[in-house]
Amino acid sequence: MSGRTGSAEAGALLSQGVGGRGKSLAGLPEGARVLVIRLRSMGDTVLMTPALRLLHDWRPDLRVSVLSEPPWDELLDGNPAIHSVLALRSKALAAWQMRRSRFAAVVNLHGGPTSAFLTRWSGAPLRAGFAHFRYPGAYNARIPTAQEILEVDRPVHTAEHVASAFFSLGVPRAEIPPAELFPSAPATERARDWLRSLGVGEDEGYAVIHPTAVYATKQWAARGFAEAGQYLERTFGLRPVYVCGPGKQERETLDRIESQTGTSILRASDWPIRELVALTAGAKIFVGNDSGPAHVAAAVRIPVLVIFGSSHAAVWKPWKAVDTAVVQNDFDCNPCPGDRCYTYEEPRCILSITTEQVKVCLESLLRAATHSRT
């Protein structure tokens, strides 16, 4: 996306708020077009899919499109609850596409200035966003908090937060399903070809390990991931495959893990999203920090072990994974913003987690998975 919505532009279009809590998706005519806006991250995109399933199961006649940002739009490939995906490459192009599509409703799950501008500019008769979003003039249907909608007094999971928006807009209250992704056959074959090229046989199991994170408060020690990978291979015969993004720091993390193991490691760095999803779907288990790939693993229905530091596990743990273990040590300062440690010289919350804690959870998850297959 190029350009940003400035304060003057936003003010001209978005300054006047409208209450509009009575508006609903229930009154839309058959076959109406609905746009859901979810910009930015991998995890947020995955955790939107339960709500899309609820909407589709209730009104399969609606033609639901999603506005996403590359490369996260690839996560929505093959999703039967979605009619089409719009990739946000230019604000002007997106605005033109939205006007041309004549959406009956736009539901903005993001809330930033670009998504608010596009919501307002869409011309949709129903334009919904959470009541706490900035630029209230973009919306004529303001969504209450998830706690109000769900009638709970507790932190809600992100998947619950998103689903609550659709409950508020008329989708009947129902159990929120798991997240779901749909790896394609071509991407699956490319992932298998890569594994074969590195000597991983068709009948040889592997584990996907994601050892990086945006913040140090969310990234476990490289030594711990090296030891976890060695344990999985030695004890369960699973080849560890280490995945990461394209950044220099991420590659350096894999270098440190390789140095700790004393041998070369299997690396899948800077993979296209489609291939990463397919690679993860074929694994026996996922091990990693609290980050987007953990939600991918839950959505392709493999056992997931997630190591938490500064984040709120009740809000960000994998949603309804087939088998999940969350490893987190209690600290009075948790949760926190996470951009740095506000209490200690180093983030003790994540660094206090021991390899033994992780090994115990790995054994429990893999024994349970083996038992469920027999």
**Strands of 304-307's sheet in order across:** 266-269, 239-244, 206-210, 285-289, 304-307, 324-327
What pLDDT does residue 168 have?
A: 98
C-beta of residue 362 within 8 angstroms of C-beta of residue 285: yes
- Chain center to CA of 169: 23
Domain parsing of the chain, residue ranges: 7-168, 185-373
Task: Report whether 190 contacts 277 (CB < 8 A).
Answer: no
CA nearest to 158, candidates 68, 332, 42, 325: 42
Q: What is the mean pLDDT of the chain?
A: 93
| CB distance 85 to 73 below 8 Å | yes
The arrangement of secondary structure in 185-373, i.e. its CATH architecture, is: 3-Layer(aba) Sandwich (3.40)
**pLDDT tens-digit profile of 182-205?**
999 999 999 999 999 999 998 899
The structure's pTM equals: 0.92
Architecture of domain 7-168: 3-Layer(aba) Sandwich (3.40)
Residue % of the chain over a pLDDT of 70 = 93
Confidence of residue 180 (pLDDT cuts 50, 70, 90): very high
**257-298 pLDDT, tens digit each:** 999 999 999 999 989 999 999 999 999 999 999 999 999 999
Same fold yes or no, 7-168 and 185-373: yes
Span 67-96, average pLDDT: 97
What's the angle, vertex CA 129, arms to CA 123 and CA 134, rounded to 5?
100
pLDDT tens-digit map of 101-122: 999 999 999 999 999 999 999 9
